[in-house]
Amino acid sequence: MLPRPDTNLEIHDQPDHILLPMMLVGEAEGEPTYGKLAVAEVAQNRANREAHWNRGPEEWSALKRSILRPWQFSAFNKDSPRLTVMMNPPSKVWEECYHVAQVVLQAQPWKPLAGIAKGADFYHATWLYGAKRKPAWLLAAMASDTPRVTIGNHVFWELGPDGIPNTRDDLV
């Protein structure tokens, strides 16, 4: 039986090997396996690059700081309806997300991944292209860059820390 989120712990107290698959449940549940892998790579790439995303308590790992940095992964926003699902995911969904996360966690931690996400550190849902309001980082990216790859319903970009639209320091 696979380890699952501990419902007695806050999200920020979950260990990395649980937090990353929780993120996949929240951010990429309906995506194919390759899409889940790419989303996990984005989180790991941010953690490995020791950049803007690694703000948070020093006792947290770089991965945890990159995942829980406010307004970066919408599933962790305080008002997200995905929070409940992430804490108690359906078994089949959890199994796939857990296995995908372990592949990424076992990659070389000192080197950004350049796998299926092609080094991406941002992604968004394809429906955002048609949205009336777009995040500032996406508008800037669309004006100056091309996406690395589109997988499933997500578009992946490598923008670096300058692509981050919000620097609020409140934590999930």
Residue 52 lies inside a defined structural domain of this protein: yes
Residue 33 lies inside a defined structural domain of this protein: yes
Amino acid identity, position 166: N
Paired with 125 in beta bridges are: 154
Residue 3 lies inside a defined structural domain of this protein: no
d(CA 11, CA 141): 31
Residue 158 lies inside a defined structural domain of this protein: yes
Q: What are all long-range contacts of 13-16, with beta carbons under 8 Å and residues at least 24 apart?
A: 16/61, 16/63, 16/64, 16/105
Three-state DSSP class for 92? helix
Residue 20 lies inside a defined structural domain of this protein: yes
Phi, psi angles (nearest 5°) of residue 38: -65, -40
Residue 171 lies inside a defined structural domain of this protein: no
Could you tell me the strand order of the sheet in which 154-157 lies? 122-125, 154-157, 149-151
Q: What is the pLDDT along the chain (172 residues), one digit of tens a residue?
A: 899 999 999 999 999 999 999 999 999 999 999 999 999 999 988 888 765 556 677 778 889 998 998 888 999 998 999 999 999 999 999 999 999 999 888 875 545 555 888 888 888 888 888 888 887 778 877 877 778 889 999 999 887 766 553 333 333 3
Overall domain count for the chain: 1
Residue 152 lies inside a defined structural domain of this protein: yes
Total-model pTM: 0.85
Domain that holds residue 130: 11-163
- The CA-atom distances, in angstroms, between 64 and each of 57, 154, 168, 171 are 10, 22, 16, 11
Residue 1 lies inside a defined structural domain of this protein: no
